Amino acid sequence: TRSFSLAVVPGDGIGPEVTAQALQVLNLVAADHDAAFSSTEYDLGAKRWHATGETLPDSVLEEIRGHDAILLGAVGDPSVPSGVLERGLLLKLRFALDHYVNLRPSKLFPGVPTPLANPGAIDFVVVREGTEGPYVGNGGAIRVGTPHELATEVSINTAYGVERVVRDAFARAQARPRKKLTLVHKNNVLVHAGHLWTRTVDAVATEFPDVAVDYLHVDAATIFLVTDPARFDVIVTDNLFGDILTDLAAAITGGIGLAASGNVNPDRTAPSMFEPVHGSAPDIAGQHKADPTAAILSGALLLEHLGLPEAAARISSAVEADIAERGAAPRSTEEVGGAIASRVAEGVAVG
């Protein structure tokens, strides 16, 4: 039996609700694939901040670092000033653990309702840079609250940081049947960072001659995500564009309740972290309405990362089968999680 240690950060709002379902499914499937998880739960989030003023103490960060992988629910709460937990907890983890590949696959499963009239076969993955861009906190404000306030939020793009994520995206494109990579940026306006990204893609492309390379400005990319999403295979983009595009990508493939993600450290110098694309959804928290599918599918990405592809496929098949049979009647978080768990337990295949 292979044992893995899991740091679990349920977080805020619907985070704990969906994480409980994901953990249940993970433990079930592991047992059947000669693996076992020992989980340590960390009570980080709004409650802890109110009680102690802490977001992510360094000692806790170092404890978390000692695990094989991290499962996170969601962070952020209306009772906490916006940004405190998002930056102090979630981004701190992504930056400290060098999660430079934010992997966000989008696939339109059969039977899933989409707002698109002609969706086509949607199956792409966004490789979103995870440690740089406007997220780094390089900015400030002066004369705050006056008519002369000035605020900056400088996007940081390093040759090192861009190249490593671009190379990872090329490798992923090469491993997929269509072998196509689309760089999304805004190099007609953001010429400094944009040209670094474009030049880097051109340079790394010479190492991957069988990968077809394409470029889109981010505004045009949003058009094609709605009018012709089947054209995309692998998209590589910066931290902020990737954030926005992946909520749109979720919306066209069945909604935010289905979208999974991995914050991956490809060099394995620290544990990778898996979480739904969605947030803490304070509007439905505590109502048992949250769809746990995104969290469960994030568990599948976690298994794949740990070298358990068959176990991961078991989860994906169970989810696909559940989705195919979803009716109009609403189900609770626990009902959806339970239904997927029983399919995993039965090893029911799709079709």
Position among 123, 132, 168, 291 found at the interface with ligand NAD (CB under 6 A): 291
Candidate segments 156-164, 220-228, 263-271, 280-288, binder of ligand NAD by CB under 6 A: 280-288
186 is catalytic: yes
- What is the rounded CA–CA span in Å between residue 260 and residue 67? 21
Contact, 127 vs 102, CB < 8 A?
yes
233 is catalytic: no
| Marked catalytic residue, from 32, 43, 219, 267 | 219
92 is catalytic: no
The helix/strand count (H/E) of the chain reads as: 12, 12
Candidate segments 62-70, 224-232, 287-295, 304-312, binder of ligand NAD by CB under 6 A: 287-295
86 interacts with ligand NAD by CB under 6 A = yes
Q: Write down the residue that tokens 């979208």 correspond to.
A: 259
Contact, 298 vs 62, CB < 8 A?
no
- The DSSP result for 322-343, as a single string, is HHHT--SS---HHHHHHHHHHH
Candidate segments 85-93, 204-212, 314-322, 328-336, binder of ligand IPM by CB under 6 A: 85-93
Contact, 44 vs 88, CB < 8 A?
no
243 interacts with Mn ion by CB under 5 A = yes
- What is the rounded CA–CA span in Å between residue 53 and residue 47? 9
| Marked catalytic residue, from 179, 214, 215, 247 | 247
Q: Choosing among ligand NAD, Mn ion, ligand IPM, none, which partner's interface includes residue 91 (Cβ < 5 to 8 Å by kind)?
A: ligand IPM
243 is catalytic: yes
HSE-CB at 318 with a 13 A cutoff on CA atoms is 29
Beta bridge partners of 273: 70, 263
Q: Which two tokens stand for residue 23?
A: 């953990």
Q: Choosing among ligand IPM, ligand NAD, Mn ion, none, which partner's interface includes residue 123 (Cβ < 5 to 8 Å by kind)?
A: none
168 is catalytic: no
Minimum distance, C-beta of residue 11 to ligand NAD, in the bound complex (Å): 6
Crossing angle of helices 309-324 and 333-346, rounded to 10°? 120
Angle at 106 between CA 293 and CA 181, to 5 degrees: 155
- Is 285 annotated in a binding site? The answer is yes
Question: Residue 276: which of 23, 91, 74 has the closest Cα?
Answer: 74
Minimum distance, C-beta of residue 275 to ligand IPM, in the bound complex (Å): 7
105 interacts with ligand NAD by CB under 6 A = no
Count of residues touching ligand NAD (by CB under 6 A): 20
For ligand IPM, the nearest residue by Cβ is 86
Minimum distance, C-beta of residue 243 to Mn ion, in the bound complex (Å): 4
Minimum distance, C-beta of residue 18 to ligand NAD, in the bound complex (Å): 6
- Is 20 annotated in a binding site? The answer is no
- Is 323 annotated in a binding site? The answer is no
Active site (catalytic) residues: 135, 186, 219, 243, 247
| Annotated binding-site positions | 94, 104, 128, 219, 243, 247, 279-291
